[in-house]
Structure 1
Amino acid sequence: MSETLSLAPQQELWQLSARELAVLLREEMVRWWRQEARLHRIIAHLDNGGARNLGYTSVTGLVADIARCSGPEVKKLVKRALVTNPSHSIDGTEIPAAAPLAGDAAREGEISPEHVDKIVRVLEKIPATTPVEDREFAERSLVELARKAGTSQISKLGKEILGHLDPDGPEPRDTPDPTRALHFHQRKDGSAKFDGYLDPISAAKTLALLDPLAQSQPNDPSDDPLRRGRAERYGDAFMEMVALAASHPESPNRSGGRADLIVTIPLADLKAELGKACLDMVTDITASEARILACDCKIIPMMLDGKGQPLEVGRAKRLVTDAIRYILAVRDKGCAFPNCSRSPRHCEAHHVVAWAHGGLTEVGNLVLLCAHHHRLLHRSDWTLRMVNELPEFTPPEFIDPWRRSRSNRHTAQPRAA
């Protein structure tokens, strides 16, 4: 039976013997492991739609903002949470955890977070064709050893298990033919799924454009790889590349300038952020998404009859003119969101008081925001106001209970255009 020790209120650490301190350290470590396991459960619940309800595209970004931390430790914490706890499908069906036994042991305080990492690393290397009972036996063996051994012994047993379950190792990859192909399937909701491959030269040219756009900005804690996964970062980078190409004077779109999208929505729905809008006459989007597009777009007035047929179409007018955009670039020097360092050419103009609510399209009511922070501001409880003609942001209560305002401290530093 293990010895327990409680530190009396009047006792100080220096009054304890080395043996008593060691026992106390063990108790505190177990308590710490159990507390992290509780964090895992909270994070897993937030991953089941909670983070998106708060305006975040991933639970990792939410955890990083709440913890005011960035780096591999946050990513490891979220990964532990998701592999040791069940998740739920769209219809609410529970999906079992990838490492349920490791999760149970962690909640009991029997194994440390580092033990969980080692166990998961082995489980991830087990071939998908392995029978379920063999996989369960492997996890059970690793967890039982972890209850009484160090992490290095977990790695040794993992190698033995993998040598037994997968003696030939992973199959070599087939190299695709040096050709270019792009396949896409557009779904009913208007989204599209892409697949394809590029020859080495084309791949090098494409990645030379995508890689810089997908990397986090220097000295920018708000834009690190933890807030967006690799696939999401490259998806955003691809859209930035499309936006840059569309804004080129020789771009082959209808207007010869920025690409035009046709969004139709009743003005009342746009103001209330209720109902749906129609994108390019085909795809339904939410009124909230339409407001994001309405921040920086061309407005084409169109008069419809009672049956929705167009009677008269006015001339296109861009809300944010080039002159206004130049002034914003000089004032904000890029994305105005706290700690973001995206340059002006990667930003969109955002109305502080929404245009649909009567907000004027003038410098005092506009700020530059990168696409990521523009979406976050529209979809979350972050708020924005102008103070002394400069943008000031207030975080949600779950990030800062005192809701202390913040501004971008990097705006005084020169940025590339």
Structure 2
Amino acid sequence: MGETLEQLRDIAGQCAGTPVWSLPDADLVDAIHTVHDAEQMLAAAKLHLVREIDGRNLPITQQAANTAVWLREQLHISIHTARRTVDLAKTLDQRPALDVALSTAAVNVEQAQIVAKTVHDLADEAAPDVVDLAEKALIAEFADWEPATFRKAAARILTHVAPEAADEADRRAAERDEKRAQRTRAFTLTNNGDGRFRVTGWLDAEAAAIVNAALDPLCKPDLERTAAQRRADALVEVCRLALRTEQLPDNGGDRPQVVVTVPYDVVRHELGVGQLDTGEALSPQQVRRLACDARILPVVLGGQGQILDVGQQRRLFTGPLRRALVARDGGCAFPGCDRPPQWCDGHHIRHWTDGGDTALDNGVLLCGYHHRLIHRGEWEVRIADDGRPEFIPPPYVDSERRPRRNIYHRRT
């Protein structure tokens, strides 16, 4: 076998080094199918080797904790990939039909992993002959489906091969999944150390539906943000809305709020880099944006760390003044935006940190996205002679920089 493998590596090297630009379209398509099939067959051969290595306890004799750890060190792959490889190797050893299917490229590795998980889960729900039927059906009837659709078929395979047992199996599976989801639910916010925080966790189906229902209206597609960025922004906006409702329980004897400590240069009359009470730094631009209308408690420091001001709750557009902003603007005042007022901040046209008044003629409602846009400084906002806000676009949007208004919320 060693000589054959050496020849195989040489042939693979020749294929990898051969230019493909001269191939006609039809040959190019044929070639990628051939290489893909060969890749699946080689994957099966690799899994056979892994199974034999695992069966001999070879990793243990080489002082590895287990076969997955050994594979990670030998093949320089992630521990997640290594574990999936070991699990699939064991399944192929126990399921000859699946082994043959992968060895002949009737299914690919992703599909084989789905079949392996399906037969494993069904072992507790159905008789062995039904499990065999499910495996056979997935390989014979659904192998032309890509993995996402293939996975859906696998989830409903009992309905296809044993409908009389499907309902009861579905009920038990749903109860099992619910208990597992409840037991393993988690939410983690991890400081990545570079200004970013990683959000990870698990929810059950009901909780996920609630979160999706809250986020989805805020994930309207636009040209400037990816889908993932829109979801991240939506999560923050939902939390900001929760803070704005004033219905959250007290936290340490006070209502929930963000605390920002920021040095103040009394000579240049400007704010420096801020610091959250959790220790993370905020840029001066972020501090300015938060100071507009976010539920924060600013602690402004002088040259020697002297506290110049704490609180200044009057900086917020609240009560009658906010209601006046809502009555005038109707929602986000940025041209073309349809965000309702409950998702908007009261933005100081002349920054509060620069001495701007918290007054109707110095305020405008902006959603979170357009609030950030205005703080970047390319667009300008002002109150026109008729008392309504208008926006001046940057030259690359309109070389004449003609004022624009939001007509979406206009009542007359």
What TM-score results when the alignment is normalised by the length of structure 2? 0.55
Aligned with 1:184 (options 170, 175, 189): 189
Cα distance per residue 1:315-373 (max 9 Å; x no partner): 74453122111111111111111101000000111111112222211111111011011
Is the 8 Å Cα contact of residues 264 and 271 (structure 2) preserved in structure 1? no
Tell me: CA distance 1:331–1:393, structure 2 relative to 1, closer, same or farther (3 Å): same
Bigger relative CO (Cα 8 Å, ≥ 6 apart): 1
2:323 to 299, 321, 326: 326
Q: Say whether 1:229 aligns with 2:226.
A: yes
User: Hey, what's the Cα distance between the residues in 2 that align with 1:320 and 1:271?
Assistant: 26
Distance in 1, matches of 2:235 and 2:188, equals 16
Kindly indicate whether residue 206 of structure 2 is the aligned counterpart of residue 208 of structure 1.
no
The residue matched to 1:409 in structure 2 has which SS? coil
Q: 1:327, 1:363 within 8 Å by CA — same for their partners in 2?
A: yes
**What amino acid maps onto 1:246 in structure 2?**
L
Q: Do the aligned partners of residues 304 and 204 (structure 1) sit closer, same or farther apart at CA in structure 2, a change above 3 Å counting?
A: closer
| In structure 2, C-alpha distance between the alignment counterparts of 1:311 and 1:351, rounded to whole Å | 21
Is the 8 Å Cα contact of residues 276 and 287 (structure 1) preserved in structure 2?
Answer: yes
1:280 aligns with 2:220: no
- Cα deviation, 1:181-216, whole Å, max 9, x if unaligned, reads 2233224456421111112222122212222222x2
Structure with greater proportional helix content: 2
Match of residue 412 from structure 1: 410
The whole-number CA distance in structure 1 between the counterparts of 2:15 and 2:205 is 40
Contact 2:294 2:345 in 1 (8 A): no
Asked whether 1:394 is paired with 2:402, we answer no
For the 8 Å contact 1:277–1:285, the answer to whether it is kept is: yes
CA distance in 1, matches of 2:370, 2:198: 24
Give the TM-score taking structure 1 as reference length: 0.55
Tell me, which stretches of 5 or more residues in structure 2 are unaligned? 1-11, 41-104, 119-176
Q: Which residue of 2 aligns with 1:361?
A: 358
Amino acid at match of 2:110: P
Q: How does 1:251-270 map to 2 (within 5 A)?
A: 251-254=248-251, 259-268=256-265
- CA distance in 2 between counterparts of 1:294 and 1:235 reads 21
SS, match of residue 238 in structure 2: helix
State which of 274, 288, 293 in structure 2 corresponds to 1:291.
288
- Separation of aligned partners in 2, 1:343 and 1:311: 36
Question: Partner of 1:170 in structure 2?
Answer: 110
Q: Does 1:381 align with 2:321?
A: no
Maintained 8 Å contact 2:189/2:200:
yes
Which residue of the partner structure matches residue 250 of structure 1?
A: 247
Instruction: Check whether the contact 2:326–2:341 (CA below 8 A) recurs between aligned residues.
Output: yes
> What residue in structure 1 maps to residue 199 of structure 2?
194
* One-letter amino acid of the structure 2 residue matched with residue 181 of structure 1: A
Q: Which has the larger radius of gyration?
A: 2
Amino acid at match of 2:237: E
Provide Cα deviations, 1:147-198, integer angstroms capped at 9, x if missing partner: x75xx99767655554444541525467984231223322445642111111
Q: 1:403 aligned to 395, 401, 404, which one?
A: 401
> Once the 2 structures are TM-superposed, how far is the Cα of residue 400 of structure 1 from its aligned partner?
2.4
Determine if contact 1:338/1:408 at 8 Å carries over to the other structure: yes
User: Equivalent residues in 2 for 1:31-46 (5 A)?
Assistant: none
Which residue identity is paired with 1:263? V
Query: 1:96-141 CA distances to partner (integer Å, 9 max, x unpaired)?
Result: xxxxxxxxxxxxxxxxxxxxxxxxxxxxxxxxxxx9997786xx63
Shift of 1:401: 2.4
State how far apart, in whole Å, the 2-side matches of 1:295 and 1:132 are: 62
Question: Which secondary structure state, in structure 1, belongs to the residue aligned with residue 389 of structure 2?
Answer: strand
Task: Report which stretch shifted further, 396-405 or 314-323.
Answer: 314-323
CA distance in 1, matches of 2:227, 2:267: 33
Change (3 A) 1:325 1:255: farther
* Distance of aligned partners of 1:306 and 1:396 in 2 relative to their CA distance in 1, 3 Å threshold: closer
Q: Which residue of structure 2 aligns with residue 335 of structure 1? A: 332
Amino acid at match of 1:232: Q
Aligned partner of 1:411: which letter? H
* Equivalent AA in structure 2 for residue 209 of structure 1: A
RMSD: 3.7
- Could you tell me which residue of structure 2 aligns to residue 53 of structure 1? none
> For 2:347, which of 350, 355, 358 is the aligned residue?
350
Tell me the distance in 2 between the aligned counterparts of 1:274 and 1:231: 32
Amino acid at match of 1:406: R
Name the CA shift for 1:153/1:230 in 2 (closer, same or farther; >3 Å): farther
Q: Cα offset for 1:387?
A: 1.2
Instruction: Supply the distance in 2 between the matched residues of 1:377 and 1:132 (Cα, whole angstroms).
Output: 55
Deviation at 1:313, TM superposition (A): 5.5
Which structure 1 residue ranges, 5 or more long, are not aligned?
A: 1-130, 217-223
Task: Measure the CA separation in 1 of the matches of 2:345 and 2:288.
Answer: 13
How far does residue 304 in structure 1 lie from its aligned partner after superposition?
Answer: 6.3
The answer as to whether partners of 1:247 and 1:259 remain within 8 angstroms in 2 is: no
- SS for the counterpart of 2:258 is coil
Classify the secondary structure of the residue corresponding to 1:262: strand
Instruction: Describe the superposition over 1:208-259 as per-residue Cα deviations: whole angstroms up to 9, x where unpaired.
Output: 2222222x2xxxxxxx343211111111111111112222333024499973
Equivalent residue letter for 1:339 = G
Give the Cα separation in 1 of the matches to 2:312 and 2:364. 26
